Amino acid sequence: MAAEHAIHALKDGTIPAPRQMLLGTGIAIGLPQGTYGRLAPRSGIANKHGMALGSGIIDADYIGKIKVILRNHDNIN
């Protein structure tokens, strides 16, 4: 059983290297007081596609839709 839930961007597209983009997920969650949410990249995405997650903490008091910053490090010398 996987320890995570997959989150996908609302729109398909390409992030040219060496750039980053803020991507909407369309997901809004409520977290219990005293906790936080954590976004983490899968190792396969980082290894195969050179993608890195630029943000990762969701505070318990955050209200709004979750967005992620993805960085493309592929083919950077």
Question: Residue 68: pLDDT above 80?
Answer: yes
Read off the tokens for 12: 């398909």
Residue type, 56: G
Number of domains within the chain: 1
DSSP state of 48: H
Residue 12's domain is classified under what CATH number?
Answer: 2.70.40.10
Q: Which domain holds residue 19?
A: 1-77
Task: Give the pLDDT confidence of 9-65 residue by residue, as tens digits.
Answer: 899 999 998 999 999 999 998 999 999 999 888 777 777 878 888 878 999 999 999
> CB-based contacts of 43: which residues, under 8 Å, 6+ apart?
none
Q: Are 4 and 44 in contact (CB under 8 A)?
A: no
pLDDT on residue 76? 60
Residues 53, 20: Cα–Cα separation, whole Å: 9
